[in-house]
Amino acid sequence: MWKYVKRYLPLAVLAGLFMVGEVLMDLVQPGIMSRIVDDGVLGMNSNGAGDLSLIWTLGLQMIGLVLFGGLCGSMNNVFVHLSGQNIGNEMRKDAFRRIMAFSFPQTDKFGVVSLVTRVTNDITQVQNFVSQFVRGMIRCVFLTLGSITFMFLLNREFGLVLLCAFPFIVGVLAFCLWKANPLFPRLQAQLDRINAIMQEDVSGIRIIKACVREVYEKARFGKTNDELIRTQMEVLVIFAFMNPAINALMYLTTAVICLSGSRQVTGGGATPGVIMAAITYTTQLLHGILMLVMLFQSISKGLASWKRVKEILDARPELENGSFSGSTELRGAVEFRNVSFCYPGSGRPALKNINLKIAPGETVAVMGATGCGKSSLANLIPRFYDVQSGAVLVDGVDVREYDQQALRRKIAVALQRAELFSTSISENITWGRPGASHEEILSAAETAQADSFIQGQADGYGTLVAERGMSLSGGQKQRLSIARAVIKPAEILIFDDSTSALDLRTEARFYEALDAARQDATKIIIAQRIASVRRADRIVVMDKGTVAAAGSHEELMQSCPVYQDIYRSQMGEGAEQIA
């Protein structure tokens, strides 16, 4: 954490100096009040004759000290917030940059909801911890030690009484914090689970209602929320015991000081003003201790959150970035050379000994049963994952040798699940090519067969897309995703079942327009329907993670049983052509 604190250390130091000034003003005032009572009101040193001018003089001094202390407190708040907010800002930016560099397995390991909670709630807790530490710790330490010191200077016996009570107060504080500390990490983990349920249920509200599962989801959320409340109650009960215990000790100390003071007043060893000042110092010490209690709660929460944030900041990208970002003679060539791959944590290989070459400008379709490895094959080209053995080459260069941004500039991807952003339709299309002209946007939308429905929107291309594209149908979202891939000046276009929500006629028109608009680009089409792939230059049939066959539609109909089974299941027995 020091890495972030040291950047704004001057602000923190200034905040600390102003806090010292505020505390000193608080510590000086009981002594002045003692003089006002003893000399100004009771006239202890002038045979019982009060001194109004002394009361006015000391009263004005107190007002001046109070105003100066208030100014110091205000300036302390300003610099505390400046340092805390800037530290949280830097930390949040670094955490987000780290997340953007995560590989897919790393994102899956943390979980999307947990990452959101860590970047928002946890960093806020750390930020509050830093701010309260700078303000609270200095105030607590100076107020506590200062109260004891000034008490000794005021009256040695009162100081000893306060000093004897101090270890008991610290003991109660230490015991309660020892019991509460293990609960704070559990609280954050339970908050993760609540956020996860919220995200799942809000995003899947249509399915929940369609399946009439509202009652079940309410019970699931309620159970998780009850667990969070139980943990919070454990913490609150611990601190509910601590505050009265510390208060009782402080009131007992005050009572002992009053008894000692009454005896000293009788014997002439103390004055009413001194006793009043002693009680004020005791009250200040109590406030310092109670503030220390709240501070340690914040510290415990902050440190628990810091551990979670630190896991993100310390995580190193699993995919090491290569250095190659130059040009090659080939443009759009893809080769799988003896590739085997399995997902992290899975013992079953998704791909086994894949050997496949795709020439520049070739249109290759990939077909096969669900779970045969089609999407896994596509995910290796932009290096979303690394192979366990073999190599994937783009333009003759191993993808592991590429600078990742340079590699992904060569590739445009449209997925079955279209991811849209809460911005205009135009900006969603230009996501992969910022600064594209309106004519280019229009051309990409026409190729993707999206222009007609966009023009029918209230604001055309300026229409705002609702969160996660909820204002659009599945087919509309897919067409915007396709337009985003088409407009990108990439050498390789990957369509991973991205036309599954389109009707056959719209799909056919799209592929015709795509061939005309991007003739030179290498196109890899992953699809489930025969009608989607039959016009490809070559069809690769996958079966259980291997390449079962490759060839044209006519060749596969003659030689590949897997392809023939797919054809018959879709077109019916005896079908001779695809409609």
Chain position carrying tokens 């897997």 = 562
Instruction: Name the range with the highest mean pLDDT among 253-267, 288-302, 306-320.
Output: 306-320
Is the pLDDT at 58 greater than 50, yes or no? yes
What is the pLDDT at residue 175?
80
| Cβ atoms within 10 Å, residue 503 | 10
What is the pLDDT at residue 334?
92
* Cα distance between residue 413 and residue 482, in whole Å: 8
What is the pLDDT at residue 48?
65
Mean pLDDT, residues 501-507: 85
What is the DSSP track for 327-368?
A: --S-SS-EEEEEEEE--TT--S-SEEEEEEEE-TT-EEEEEE
Q: Are strands 411-415 and 546-551 parallel, antiparallel or unpaired?
A: unpaired
What is the pLDDT at residue 442?
92
Q: Point out which residues pair with 340 in neighbouring strands.
A: 389
User: Residue 414 in 3-state DSSP?
Assistant: strand
What is the pLDDT at residue 573?
55
Q: Identify which has the larger pLDDT, 467 or 404.
A: 404
What is the pLDDT at residue 151?
78
Is the pLDDT at 368 greater than 90, yes or no? no
| Structural domains present in the chain | 2-314 (1.20.1560.10), 334-571 (3.40.50.300)
Average pLDDT over the chain reads 83
> What is the phi-psi region of residue 226: left when phi exceeds 0, alpha when psi lies from -120 to 50, beta otherwise?
alpha
* Cα distance between residue 242 and residue 23, in whole Å: 25
What is the pLDDT at residue 138?
80
Is the pLDDT at 574 greater than 70, yes or no? no
Tens of pLDDT, residue by residue over 135-166, are 877 888 888 788 778 777 777 777 787 778 77
* Cα distance between residue 186 and residue 199, in whole Å: 20
What is the pLDDT at residue 576?
44
User: Residue 17 in 3-state DSSP?
Assistant: helix
- For residue 46, give the DSSP letter: T
What is the pLDDT at residue 492?
92
Tens of pLDDT, residue by residue over 79-115, are 888 888 888 899 999 999 888 888 887 887 887 778 8
